[in-house]
Amino acid sequence: MREARLELKRRFDESVVKLLETANPDFFEDPTVEELSFITQIYSVAHFRQNLDRKKLLQGGYFADPFIIAKAWVKDATVVTEEDQPPHGARIPNICEHFAIACVKLEGFLVIEDWRF
């Protein structure tokens, strides 16, 4: 998906983004109709409209959050994020909890996947 790729390009070297694309080609696909429909469900909840960062949108920033959440919902996957979950918040973990989408921090993901170093 374009939004995720553009956010990643702001943080990482192009070679890192290419490596991610090669290893996960379906992650960067255009959103499906089902995913786009789910995004409208997210923002039909008035409280979650706070997640739309007005400044980011007005300045032409990229906004991958709803696309990532929708892809996880469609694929019955887990969202991995380092965002906190404030009470009554409108962050990724709050939205995932509302829609019963699995969501963990990186450390939790590593435990689930039984990664050892």
Distance CA 62, CA 105 (A): 22
Question: Residue 66 corresponds to which tokens in the numbers above?
Answer: 């709803």
Q: At what angle do helices 14-23 and 2-11 cross, to 10 degrees?
A: 140
Task: Scan for tokens 């050892």, then name that residue.
Answer: 116
Instruction: Count each helix (H run) and each strand (E run) in the chain, helices first.
Output: 7, 2
The pLDDT value given to residue 57? 62
pTM for this entry: 0.84
What's the pLDDT score for residue 47? 87
From first to last of the 117 residues of the chain, give the pLDDT tens digit: 778 888 888 888 989 989 988 988 877 888 999 999 999 999 999 888 877 766 566 666 678 899 999 999 999 999 999 999 999 988 999 999 999 999 999 999 999 999 988
